[in-house]
Amino acid sequence: MQVKLRGALVAALVVLVSTGTMLAGAKVLSVFAPPVSGGSTVVVKQVQAKPNAPAEPPSTGLSEAERRGIEDAVRNQLTAIAARDAKRAFAKLAPSTQHYFAQPDQYLEAIASDLPPILATRHFAFLGAGRDKTGANQLVLITDGDGRDWLPTFQVERQSAGDWRVKDCAVQAAVGQLA
């Protein structure tokens, strides 16, 4: 089942993210890990705003190159997790997160246990990136295999080589969804 988003909903979510506002009443699932299990296909959804919607969200404190790097890191992480590729997903984690989990399989098992919506990702769209007191974050809208929408926020950190790696993830049910 493919979920269609209206430009106004996407714009509203981007504003919420860029101002750091949490959605009231949403249950948050949080852990440093992505899930494990059988194969799947992930489709990146292209979300288009209405023609009169602003082209860019309010200032996020990130350059265009930083936003692209963050999106690439999160995209690589989500596709590796959805493919149940523990080694590839583990390789894209920040060193501190790798140290915490020690082994790729342990990381994927933690995702399966604690963040099942991430493991069940079938479609995703980037909603906005920005900086806050914890560092750089990327908000993503994902749709799981049952057609439910989720809003994971990926905390990322830049490595000394200049690439971005996923450090942590927290997931909340999208507005109107039960967690």
Domain ranges for the chain: 28-49+60-173
* Two tokens, residue 19: 């101002």
CATH of domain 28-49+60-173: 3.10.450
Q: Do residues 60 and 130 lie in contact, with contact meaning Cβ atoms separated by under 8 Å?
A: yes
Distance between CA atoms of residues 35 and 113, nearest Å? 7
Q: Do residues 119 and 82 lie in contact, with contact meaning Cβ atoms separated by under 8 Å?
A: yes
Predicted pLDDT of residue 175: 79
Task: Give every CB contact of residue 141 below 8 A, 6+ residues apart in sequence.
Answer: 5, 10, 13, 45, 47, 124, 125, 127, 149, 150, 151, 174
Owner of token pair 């959805």:
82
Neighbours of 58 (CB within 10 A): 12
Predicted pLDDT of residue 178: 58
Give the chain's residues under pLDDT 50.
1-58
**Exposed/middle/buried for 134, CB within 10 Å: 0-12, 13-18, 19+?**
exposed
Predicted pLDDT of residue 134: 79
Predicted pLDDT of residue 179: 55
Q: Do residues 114 and 108 lie in contact, with contact meaning Cβ atoms separated by under 8 Å?
A: no
